[in-house]
Structure 1
Amino acid sequence: MNKNINLPEKLENKIKCNNPRCITSVEKYITHTFYLVNREKGEYRCRYCDEIVKVMED
């Protein structure tokens, strides 16, 4: 796998949080915002609940 993919530091409304307790699961108008936490693994953290979401497979 190519590890040189340029992942953005912040994603908005590109992925959704899987945590059913996250505010974005209840309030549909809230922007889904994620911040890059691990570039090599392609992991992003939800702004609201800190759930980690993987966007790349190993």
Structure 2
Amino acid sequence: MFTKTLGFFIFLFIFLMGFSMLLFLGGFVGYWLTLIAVEAINPKLAHKMIGYKEGKEIR
């Protein structure tokens, strides 16, 4: 009984970890591709979306 329960929780942990990574990467890649498309069409809007200020570069 204990082994089946432990196996189920291990499976659940691995499944949920993979599913959460899938959601994160799906959101991140979608946001990334959206910014690439917006920057290709309208660079000023893309800079406004990410908060880019001209002349304030990180060194």
TM-score (ref. length: structure 2): 0.21
Larger CA Rg, structure 1 vs 2: 2
Structure having the larger proportion of residues in strand: 1
Q: Which has the higher contact order (CA 8 A, sep 6+)?
A: 1
Query: Taking structure 1 as the reference length, what is the TM-score of the superposition?
Result: 0.21
